[in-house]
Structure 1
Amino acid sequence: MKEHRDIIAAYEDLCADHALDPAQVGTAWTLSRPGVTGTVIGPRTEQHIDAALDAMRTPLPQTLLARLDELFPPVGRGGPAPDAWLS
């Protein structure tokens, strides 16, 4: 969606700054959220499974987590769900 392109570009730049794959960061960040006990990964290849396992083993730096919270604020800080993560 065109209106979200700036946020997506900032996310991709943030991942690149940390030399991390955006898909792995997304999985690791999701798993770091309070109350989240699992995530759906939908792998199509063995590499997708390996990447998801790597995401589970890779703790994200606090600076990265803080920036992700700025880009995608939790519900209540960025608007009602599901727009909280896109507005």
Structure 2
Amino acid sequence: MEPLAGGLLAGVLEKQDGGRRYEERQQKRVEEHRPALEQYEAFCRELGQAPADVGLAWLLHQPAVTAPIVGPRTMQQFEGSLAALEVTLEDAALDRLDEIFPGYKAAPMEYAW
């Protein structure tokens, strides 16, 4: 899976500029996950951070992730990704993110044979 879930964790509900989220497949994904995305984007606003920055910071807080592979299409996206390095998520914030998006298990322990 892509670090920002194909754009879903980049503020897809807030953006009004068109782009991939208006493709039929992406629209289906947005609608399928709308309740969680609404909670996520509201939580990001509470934190005072951009959704994409929170998404990447959340990924960077995972012990099994050594180097997320981001795929910015523009220099602006690349520079925006660097902002995630400055985002510190406290345990309460990490717990809240896990509540919004439940079902993920700690790796590699939970996936070991």
**Does the alignment reach a TM-score above 0.5?**
yes
* Matched residue count: 76
What's 1:38 paired with?
A: 67
> RMSD of the TM alignment (CA)?
1.6
Higher relative contact order (CA 8 A, sep 6+): 2
SS at match of 1:24: helix
Q: How does 1:18-29 map to 2 (within 5 A)?
A: 18-29=47-58
Unpaired stretches in structure 1, ≥5 consecutive residues: 77-87
What's 1:71 paired with?
A: 100
Unpaired stretches in structure 2, ≥5 consecutive residues: 1-28, 107-113
Displacement, 1:66? 1.1
Task: Give 1:3's aligned amino acid.
Answer: E
Q: Matched residues, percent identical? A: 41
- Structure 1 or 2, whichever has the larger Rg, is 2
Displacement, 1:67? 0.2
TM-score, normalization: structure 2?
Answer: 0.60
